[in-house]
Amino acid sequence: MHTLILTLVVALGMAAPTWADAEASVAVQAPTVTVFPERPVQGHLFRVRVSPAAGEPLRAVRGEAGGEALHFTADEAGVFEGFGPVPIETEGSLQMRLVAVRVDGRE
């Protein structure tokens, strides 16, 4: 099992995320992260979608944004979605940390 860790700043918009393999310390084929709306607003919720890279299914995704835990559920295609808050006191940017756990081999 490999754990992929992503830290990005949602500049009440998006930054270009970079994933790193925590075990091998090498670049890996990254899942796609999408935030809706693209520019979240203070005091509102935003949705985060994590889509696996081709041939790299995910077992789980967890994360944190604005000091709050993000909880993800997967659909039948293996795409994970969760919701997060933009705290009222947030100005300019919001740091979000995601951890994606890949499936390594067949189950």
Question: pLDDT tens, 57-96?
Answer: 889 998 988 888 999 999 999 999 999 888 888 777 778 8
Closest CA to 4 of 52, 49, 48, 38: 52
- The model carries a pTM of 0.73
Residues 18-28: tens digit of each pLDDT: 444 444 444 55
3-state secondary structure of 50: strand
Residues 28, 74, 84, 36, CA torsion sign: positive
Assigned token pair, 37: 């709306």
